[in-house]
Amino acid sequence: MDVQTDVSPMTGEQIQSYIVLGAQNNFSAPNQINTEEQTQNVLDEIPGERFQERHHLNLDTDFDYPRKGTDPGIVLIFNNETFSDEPRLGSRRDVNEILICFSRLGFNIHESDVCTDYSAERIQNKIAQILNDKERLKNTNCLVVFVMTHGEEYEMLNSLDGWFRTKDIWKHFMECEELEDKPKLFFIQACKGYFSAKLAVSTAELDKDKQDKPPLIDHRYLTPGELGPDMLIAYSTIEGNVSFRDPQSGSWFIQELCKNFSTYGRREDVVSLMTRINKCVCRNYYTIRLQDIAKQTPAFVSTLSKKFYLNRNKDRHILLQIQKDTDEINGIVKEIMNCLNNRPSVA
């Protein structure tokens, strides 16, 4: 089966008529394998016992985000796949991989936090529900949000009844007092236009692309003031380009994300992981589109001020503690030497 994209099936004129809400439509489910049952099986296989953060000796918080809560993190998934014009086949495979990956990393995933085929209003209601659970937010050490749907230029995403913007997902979490100084990670699997990166193109094609492509950032839709501290926002593709998805194996971006998180998530921080994921998607994937070799380039924006590890590995902690103890010993030795050097001489 051919590789598909997450370009919205709606036209540009229809996009302009939407802001957040639209008319309710009845969408028929795609003719495919019962992937909902597969996802339920994955959820059933996740251990019922809750993971809790182990409180080791104090880490040097100059380098790492502190983990003061008992819960490793909240994982929230919005997966819109049932569209009448163009169902997002393979998206449920992405959901399953996310569930397996983060369960292995020690996250407690609630079945109610896996949200399939939500309208814009239901998405906002779910976010409000999470924000109202103050005790849960207080005890969690990070927030991880996945949004997988059709998309368009300028941060526009498809819900089942219209459109919403990516900032509608994270803006409320920015203002949450319980999440202050905690990492907030957002992963967006959606197209951001109609173009695709090409392996090699002619000069004429490059000139045409320059004329047709929008600017990478448009201040009307995303400004620095809309980004808060301690955030990482990762996009499956750059502005103006499509994002590819295999109907059988899932999207290129999410599949590589889960592979790298599972393999390296216990010893590399998330910024290093995202750089690795960008390289893997760019290097390992291609398809033929309009007689060209089409590639995909993910991108991310980070305001994280410290390193954040998805799983606090015991060995890494020991190394950090040894480093901290060594620094303290060196400081004590330095003070002793200063005292000896400043001691008044005996006549």
Higher pLDDT, 83 or 210: 83
Render pLDDT for 84-131 as a digit per residue (tens, 0 to 9).
777 899 999 999 999 999 999 999 999 999 999 999 999 999 999 999
Q: Quick one: tokens of 268? A: 């590399």
Q: Quick one: tokens of 207? A: 């000139």
Fold (topology level) of 4-54+65-311: Rossmann fold (3.40.50)
Kindly report the pTM of this predicted structure. 0.73
Is the CA virtual torsion 252, 253, 255, 259 positive or negative?
positive
- Looking at residue 218, its pLDDT comes to 44
| Residue 188, burial from CB neighbour count under 10 angstroms (0-12, 13-18, 19+) | buried
Do the beta carbons of residue 163 and residue 19 sit within 8 Å? yes
Q: Which of 55-69, 188-202, 253-267 has the highest mean pLDDT?
A: 253-267
Average pLDDT, the chain: 80
Lowest mean pLDDT among 92-106, 142-156, 307-321: 307-321
Residue 63 pLDDT more than 70?
Answer: yes
- Looking at residue 264, its pLDDT comes to 94
CA dist 78 and 149 (Å) reads 8
Residue 191 Cα to chain centre, angstroms:
15
What average pLDDT does the segment 288-305 reach? 89
Q: Is 240 left (phi over 0), alpha (psi -120 to 50) or beta?
A: left
Higher pLDDT, 253 or 311: 253
Q: Which residues contact 244 (CB under 8 A, 6 or more apart)?
A: 3, 4, 5, 196, 251, 252, 285, 287, 294, 296
- Looking at residue 52, its pLDDT comes to 65
Render pLDDT for 212-237 as a digit per residue (tens, 0 to 9).
333 344 444 455 567 899 999 999 99
- Looking at residue 216, its pLDDT comes to 42
Residue 258 pLDDT more than 90?
Answer: yes
